[in-house]
Amino acid sequence: MWEEFLAEIWGHHRGKLIGLLIGLLFSCLVLAVGFWRAMFVILCMAAGVLIGKRIDEKGSWREIYQRLFREP
């Protein structure tokens, strides 16, 4: 019964639930460490996700390094 209900909610309102959880996490971070420190944590998490995504797409560390630190 609950599994069907949760599957229905997840199927129709996935974006809202994810947004709700992200908002909850951010508000807890702001209350715990302050706004700018929370923003730093979020920035580090985003960088980690982007690097992980690149690695999952079969990118190498050398390509990532060269892309991040290329000379102008």
Alpha-helical (H) ranges within 1-72 are 2-33, 35-56, 61-68
Neighbours of 54 (CB within 10 A): 15
- Cβ of 43: how many Cβ atoms within 10 Å? 10
> Whole-prediction pTM value?
0.59
d(CA 33, CA 30): 6
Per-residue pLDDT of the chain (72 residues; tens, 9 = 90+): 888 888 888 888 888 888 888 889 999 999 999 999 999 999 998 888 887 777 777 766 677 677 778 776
Residue 45 amino acid letter: M
